[in-house]
A and B are shown apart, each in its own frame.
Chain A
Amino acid sequence: MATTEETLNVAGAQLVVVRGGSGKPLFVCHDEMGYTGWMKWNEALAANRELIIPLQPGYGKSPRQDWMWRHRDVANYYLNVIREMGLEKPDVMGFGAGGYIAAEMAAAAPELLGSLTLVGPMGIKPDEGEIAEMFACTVNSYMRLSVHNHEAEEYGQIYGGEMSPEQFELFEDARAEAARLGWEPYMFNPSLPNLLKSAELVKLPTLLVRGAEDAVIPPNCIEKYKAAIPQAETVSISNAGHRPEIENSDEFISAVQKFLS
């Protein structure tokens, strides 16, 4: 499917946005390591949706915005983007740290969203276990930790072979910006669970997805999200870690399509 990548001047900042598909907008927040390309799951969901994927400021393509201090700032900026682009109740989906951003968006302005899908979301401190440390290890180690199903075809496509200098630099940009926003407290916002508990948010259809073998996000993170958003459905994707969308894309696509329909 043809996709476009364009630089918008929106909500006071330059933002590179990847778009593909047609239909009701699905606003996608990529994960902590950045956008890794148009994959099988993008293609499947784009059959009847327009995917709008902002490349997070500071992740190499969209310029870093010095005023963004926390993931919450990115979330509020994205809400302004939604307003300025005139998107009518887009479904919002976020992965990992992008899930953290999506959850902050829902906490701040649930009325602007059509639904919320969080995949292996960071953002809430678990009572049991820890969100895995991504900064005290190499890119390779984090990739290996993130992905359970190393046989997945798309894992090989994205991470196999020699890393090019360009890819190395993009990963380092991603890690630097993730650290800038989420170093302390580490990839969570202590007030997020409380801010998610609003009368408006109770009406927001929500799906919580976790790879059954996710080594980055402990199960308790999902339980804490579920406690804050009681109407949320939860789904576990088998034979997958922190990247279920590429590790077991069939099961992932099917669960998300069912929810979005």
Chain B
Amino acid sequence: MQIAHFTERPVRYIPEEPVLENRAFFGVSNKYIDRDKSADDYNYYLDEACYCEEVGFDAVALNEHHGNPFCSGNVLNIEAAILARITSKVKIVLIGNPLPVVKHPLRVAEELATIDTISRGRLVSGWVRGAGSEQFFNNANPAINRELFNEAHEFIMQAWTREGPWRYEGKHFHYRHVNPWVLPYQKPTPQQWIPGVLSPETVLWCAEKQYPYLGLGTALGPTCDLWDMYADKAAELGFQCGPENFGYLLPVFCADTDEKAQDLGRGFIFGGGQNAFSRPEHTLPPGYNSKAAIRMLATQPGGSWLGVSKAKLMASQEDQWDAAAFDALRDKLKKGYDKVQENLQVVVGSPETCAKKICDILEVIRPGVFTVFAVQGNVSDADRMNSVKLLGEQVLPVVREFAAKQELTGPFDQVPGQRKLASGTKRDPVVNREALEKLNLP
């Protein structure tokens, strides 16, 4: 198993009220930027990544978002380039470059090849479509998002592997002279891991490409369903999936005692947490979703996707903010915090508590990559570092031992897609539904 540490690098000094009032992080004015505190944060997060390497994480993972204090990683390749130089062992996992919103795949190919070369082959390059709000921020046409994604990805694969110079005339991208004078250090290409929030299209695409799929804190039941879908598709294509095809990212915060962890772990619901990433109208720009996803949204009033339901979408922008509602909202968020812990979608506690819950989850979904998503909100450097220390020193050894017993092979132990499956042969299970039953989740 490969174990990674991930953080959104939250803007930690922002007051909560403007986020609550805006009902989302996306769209909060940048007038709240404090350049000195911002400099502290950016430097701290680089130090934190180095400390993760020191305490035994196999990888540090980065992402990027735009116009959003939920995540101060606006240009992840810049941070990754710095990490390439200041770390020496960890994989640098990018989850990922939002290809449609960057709009310049040749440039992305060069940037990533630079990171891979400086780090002497430690890059794991993930790709994403970009959240809905990124389409607005970058003026990227959401109605052709998947076309842009697919074409940019195919182009980068060529730019990395085909001898130049050559010319490219595609549908959305055009280059007269493709001949980058930096190529990936890893041959033929770095590994590519694809994060997602249960979009079936993405899961099937990963199976076709034999790329590991990383569930981003998704509920365990639907995660099992989607991984079965991946494994079925893989079987059709003639390979047996194993843990190396799957990764899972889980919000985890560790402190010396359960009580302290519970208190600080509330950072996960700061400003409304992940569900307040962006308002529904920004989460679902026109054409961003497939027809099937829209139909599901239209016909399943209770069924939400990215925390959005048709009812929420309809209600958005309907009501005026009532400033007296802060306390009521915080109460509601606290209830949500308890609920996601009961569902095991957030793990907060002492090292013993965290290790037990993480192993319970791993037994069900059997991933080869496990990624810790560090706490959000205004948690101090010392408390964050302590969480990393406790995880590294006390939780990771337990998790590694458990993973070894469960034979949770990571994608650097077993190349994904290399276990052949003869036509007509029944595939092995990839998840453990009995273990899920036993957890008796609400």
Contact = CB atoms under 8 A, between A and B. Distances in A.
Q: Which of B281, B299, B313, B318 has the most C-beta atoms of chain A within 10 angstroms of its own C-beta?
A: B281
Interface string A144-171: 0000000000000000000101101100
Contacts of A212: none
Interface string B139-158: 10111100000000000000
A183 interface: yes
Given A163-B314, A183-B139, A183-B141, A136 B285 contact: yes
A223 interface: no
B431 to A, nearest CB: 32
Given A165-B298, A180-B144, A138 B286 contact: no
Interface residues of B, number: 24
A136 B136 contact: yes
Contact of A137 (B142, B281, B294, B298): B281
Interface string B285-296: 111000100110
B280 interface: yes
A contacts with B: majority SS: helix
B316 interface: yes
A229 B318 CA distance: 40
A135 B139 contact: no
A165 to B, nearest CB: 4
A141 B313 CA distance: 10
A82 B142 CA distance: 31
B330 interface: no
B280 to A, nearest CB: 7
A244 B144 CA distance: 32
B9 interface: no
Interface string A107-148: 000000000000000000000000000011110110000000
By DSSP majority rule, is chain B's interface helix, strand, loop, or mixed? Answer: helix
Nearest to B318: A140
A165 B297 CA distance: 9
B38 interface: no
A165 B299 contact: yes
A172 B318 CA distance: 19
Interface size bucket, A side?
Answer: 20 to 34
A172 B286 contact: yes
Contact of A141 (B281, B285, B287, B299): B281
B418 interface: no
A8 interface: no
Interface string A172-197: 11011111100110000000000000
Interface string B305-337: 000001001101110000000000000000000
Contacts of A141: 281, 316-317
Given A138-B281, A140-B318, A179 B287 contact: yes
Contacts of A177: 143, 287
The interface centre, meaning the residue of B142, B143, B282, B291 with most chain A CB atoms within 10 A of its CB, is B143
B298 A169 contact: yes
Given A168-B298, A172-B294, A184-B141, A179 B285 contact: yes
B287 A176 contact: yes
A135 B144 CA distance: 14
Contacts of A169: 291, 294-295, 298
Contact of A138 (B294, B299, B316): B316
Contacts of A138: 280-281, 313-314, 316-317
Contacts of A178: 286
B136 A168 contact: no
Interface in B257-309: 280-282, 285-287, 291, 294-295, 297-299
Contact of A184 (B139, B295, B310, B316): B139
Contacts of A137: 281, 317
Contacts of A135: 136, 142, 285-286
Contact of A168 (B142, B286, B310): B310
Nearest to A137: B281
Contacts of A165: 295, 298-299
A176 B282 contact: no
A236 B138 CA distance: 37
Given A138-B316, A169-B295, A175-B286, A180 B281 contact: no
Contacts of B285: 135-136, 179
B282 A136 contact: yes
A169 B293 CA distance: 10
B207 to A, nearest CB: 25
A140 B313 CA distance: 9
B220 to A, nearest CB: 29
Nearest to A180: B143
A141 B143 CA distance: 20
Nearest to B147: A66
Contacts of B298: 165-166, 168-169, 172
B281 A175 contact: no
A180 B146 CA distance: 12
Shortest Cβ-Cβ A-B pairs, 6 listed: A176-B287, A175-B286, A180-B143, A165-B298, A183-B141, A179-B286
Given A138-B280, A177-B143, A179-B143, 9 more contacts: A136-B281, A140-B314, A168-B294, A168-B310, A173-B291, A176-B286, A179-B141, A183-B142, A183-B143
13 contacts: A135-B142, A138-B314, A165-B298, A168-B294, A168-B310, A169-B291, A169-B295, A169-B298, A173-B291, A178-B286, A180-B143, A180-B287, A183-B141
